[in-house]
Structure 1
């Protein structure tokens, strides 16, 4: 397992904060042993939490020409037909994956193809499970066209804790299935919009892994 590049700055700042905090405690409360040890333990716990959030575990990815692979780790919170008004402007099958702070937060391309559309939207920070978060929160929208002509839309959505969405794609890019297309910090959600009638292999509340779990099969 390695640490993702998006974590380098945050981890460095966390270490600086922990060092300064412990130095102050040691200087001001040198005789209060219980307080010093409490701060030591809390500092260690904080560092471990930050470190695990940016982990990048080694994985054997699953690929397939007609397969749609889960773009993120987390839990399936939505499987339903809905109106997609930004790009398709018609009915689509929406699958949403909620990522808690303890999940790996790397986002991976669910299919291979050409990026036909990309847009970043500044917005609110509603809880990621709120239905309005899909259209009102800070988010990105990516549409990749499969080799068979089928477009798939996926959307990074910031949550109540997430304050930064990172993306690595732009219109015209040719992307590979399971390769990284972005990262979201500290809790978030990814929505995928598929053609109505697409065979979905997931169930509500199922725990999935990005780049491994097969989400659906394209016709």
Structure 2
């Protein structure tokens, strides 16, 4: 990637207000309190710009694959029942959990082309997103979809310790494309994806994910 590409990376519209507030406060600190505090404010403003970056991605076109819904690190691959709120039964499924630090891109992407068949928002706690129980106890937005290959999957945006707002632009009945943007979590979080039977997980804990690009599962 060229240095100019990093500087010119688009910013998600959700970040515009936050960046403006950080910048105005920084200028106020410079002129009303102290120059060192002003410089600290500008560093935080730069971090805010970095946090809300929204880079373009090259989405794989292979058939029968799922891509990562987020940037981050795979924190766990487990067997667990899907969220009860989505009505998918209680038979355990493979769940892939991806932890996003405050330095990762936080724009979320749809893992497969298909149709959104259900959504549920659950108000909850703000445990560390890396904790196993966060997927069942934290604030979360749940999404169920039928993929273009006929698989019934689910994915979730899970708030973390410092995350205080989950944005999801999906509606039931939406027809979506693999890798398309669907939301954002600020400022630290996790995403989970629940696979259908007949799907093979292709990643392992500790791997680094690129949202919309890294293949995380494929149809057998």
TM-score in same-fold range (> 0.5): yes
Distance 1:65 1:197, change over 3 A: closer
TM-score (norm 1): 0.91
3-state secondary structure, aligned to 2:81: strand
Deviates most, 43-52 or 159-168: 43-52
State the alpha-carbon separation in 2 of the partners of residues 147 and 214 from structure 1.
Answer: 16
State the alpha-carbon separation in 1 of the partners of residues 13 and 65 from structure 2.
Answer: 28
Give the match for residue 32 of structure 2. 24
| Runs of 5+ consecutive residues of structure 1 not aligned to the other structure | 27-35
- Give matches, 1:12-161, under 5 Å: 12-26=20-34, 36=35, 38-86=36-84, 87-88=87-88, 89-161=90-162
| Runs of 5+ consecutive residues of structure 2 not aligned to the other structure | 1-8
Residue 64 (structure 1) shift:
2.8
Give the match for residue 10 of structure 1. 18
Number of residue pairs matched by the alignment: 209
State the alpha-carbon separation in 1 of the partners of residues 169 and 181 from structure 2.
Answer: 7
Give the match for residue 205 of structure 2. 204
Deviates most, 16-25 or 206-215: 16-25
TM-score (norm 2): 0.90
State the alpha-carbon separation in 1 of the partners of residues 11 and 113 from structure 2.
Answer: 25
State the alpha-carbon separation in 1 of the partners of residues 149 and 199 from structure 2.
Answer: 14
3-state secondary structure, aligned to 1:93: strand
Q: Tell me the C-alpha RMSD between the 2 structures.
A: 1.3
State the alpha-carbon separation in 2 of the partners of residues 197 and 145 from structure 1.
Answer: 14
**Higher Cα Rg, which structure:** 1
| Structure 1 runs, 4 residues or longer, greater than 6 Å off | none
Give the match for residue 29 of structure 1. none
Residue 151 (structure 1) shift:
0.9
Report if the CA contact (8 A) 1:118-1:141 is conserved: yes
